[in-house]
Amino acid sequence: MFVRPLLALAVPAVAVQAFSVSDVTSFARDVTSSIGGVVKRHDGHHGGHHEDHNEGPVTPARGLGECPSVWKDVSDDLTAIFLGDNGECTALARGAIRAAFHDCFPGAGCDGSLILGNEFTNFQNRGIPPIAEALKPIAEDREVGYADLIQFAAAHAVATCPMGPRIPAKVGRTDSDVAAPGTELPTPFQNASELIPMFEAKGFSAGELAALIGAHTASVQTTVDPENVASQDTTPGKFDNLYYKQTIEGNAPFTFQSDRSLAHDDQRTAGPMQGFANSQGGWNAAFTAAMVKMSLRGVENPGELVDCSEYLPRGTAPRNVRAAPINDRVRI
């Protein structure tokens, strides 16, 4: 069985790269033991469907292995399309952050099926094709897996947006071309009463949902109301917490019904959202932890993934959540 992204990992470790975001390391370790699910093994090529239930993991021993240097090239490719001339993050960067959620949340988890399974026909995936088309040549030219590329691209995109935290990015997932059911993604017309149970069913608390929805700080809707293309806060090129303030106050250019409901209708999300509106650092920490958890959903060998965070953009601002004063962190 040939699993392209993992071959280079068979090299013995020279150095084990620790997460730079130590605050979330133990959290991530905890969630890895609670997530599971079987992802069918595929070679990551389009149309490939080579199930293999018998082979063991091809990754090296737990925690060992250095990041293959091809991810440095991938990072350069992504910087070229994610960083705008104005120093802010681009539409493709925003698409990449959304794609990570759309690959991991439905079906078997983070397995690349968003692209390999052509899930674009799903109503909830409208707007995804541009980032999918941008990632395909990178996956093919660099010979990395789609599941890993989608998650690495999201972490890269968040780090590229000014004020975005550096989310640890690991690789070694298994690709699948089995499409996930579109019905498992939320719609902007749902309310907190539906959305909270939907996320809880996937293992995410209301507080984690409140943290994740902040990704709409880097969002410009084009499909909910195509006649009124508009952003979800006034700074869609920055990963700031203005989204929370404007969603709560009702003065964002365009707010989804779902987001408005989460901000007002149920204290389990409204409370943390108010906290995030008051604390950029607190939101950064909570968002990072929830995204790490999301990026491991359905991954069957989470302890064997290799940390490639070293190849994420470093940025200019202090983006490490350690920079958040301890009292500035929001409990969720």
Residues within the interface to ligand HEM (CB under 6 A): 91, 94-95, 97-98, 101, 127, 186-188, 195, 212-213, 215-216, 218-224, 256, 258
Q: Was 103 annotated as part of a binding site?
A: yes
- Closest contact distance (angstroms) between CB of 197 and ligand HEM is 12
Q: Can you give the length of the chain in residues? A: 332
Q: Which CB sits closer to ligand HEM, 98 or 238?
A: 98
Q: Which CB sits closer to ligand HEM, 221 or 280?
A: 221
Q: Was 216 annotated as part of a binding site?
A: yes
- Closest contact distance (angstroms) between CB of 102 and ligand HEM is 8
Q: State CA 165 to chain mean position distance.
A: 12
Task: Answer yes or no: 102 catalytic.
Answer: yes
Q: Was 259 annotated as part of a binding site?
A: no
Q: Was 183 annotated as part of a binding site?
A: no
- Closest contact distance (angstroms) between CB of 225 and ligand HEM is 8
Of residues 46, 50, 53, 102, which has the active-site annotation? 102
Q: Which CB sits closer to ligand HEM, 117 or 186?
A: 186
Please spell the DSSP secondary structure of 117-138, one letter per residue. TTGGGSGGGTT-HHHHHHHHHH
Look at residues 312, 18, 25 and name the one whose alpha carbon lies nearest to residue 161: 312
Decide: 316 and 269 in contact? Cβ < 8 Å. Answer: no
Q: Was 217 annotated as part of a binding site?
A: yes
- Closest contact distance (angstroms) between CB of 287 and ligand HEM is 8
Q: Which CB sits closer to ligand HEM, 174 or 258?
A: 258
Please spell the DSSP secondary structure of 26-81, one letter per residue. HHHHHHHHH-------B-SSTT-----SS----S-STT--PPPTHHHHHHHHHHHH
Q: Which residue is nearest to ligand HEM (CB)?
A: 127
- Closest contact distance (angstroms) between CB of 179 and ligand HEM is 19
Measure the CA–CA gap between 132 and 37, rounded to whole angstroms.
25
Look at residues 191, 156, 189 and name the one whose alpha carbon lies nearest to residue 261: 191
Please spell the DSSP secondary structure of 70-114, one letter per residue. HHHHHHHHHHHHHB-TTSSB-HHHHHHHHHHHHHHSSTTSSSSHH
Q: Which CB sits closer to ligand HEM, 22 or 223?
A: 223
Q: Was 247 annotated as part of a binding site?
A: no
Decide: 42 and 48 in contact? Cβ < 8 Å. Answer: yes
Measure the CA–CA gap between 246 and 227, rounded to whole angstroms.
22
Decide: 297 and 262 in contact? Cβ < 8 Å. Answer: no
* Catalytic residue list: 102
Where is the binding site, in residues? 103, 109, 111, 113, 216-217, 233, 235, 240
Annotated binding site for Ca(2+): 103, 109, 111, 113, 217, 233, 235, 240
- Binding positions for heme b are 216
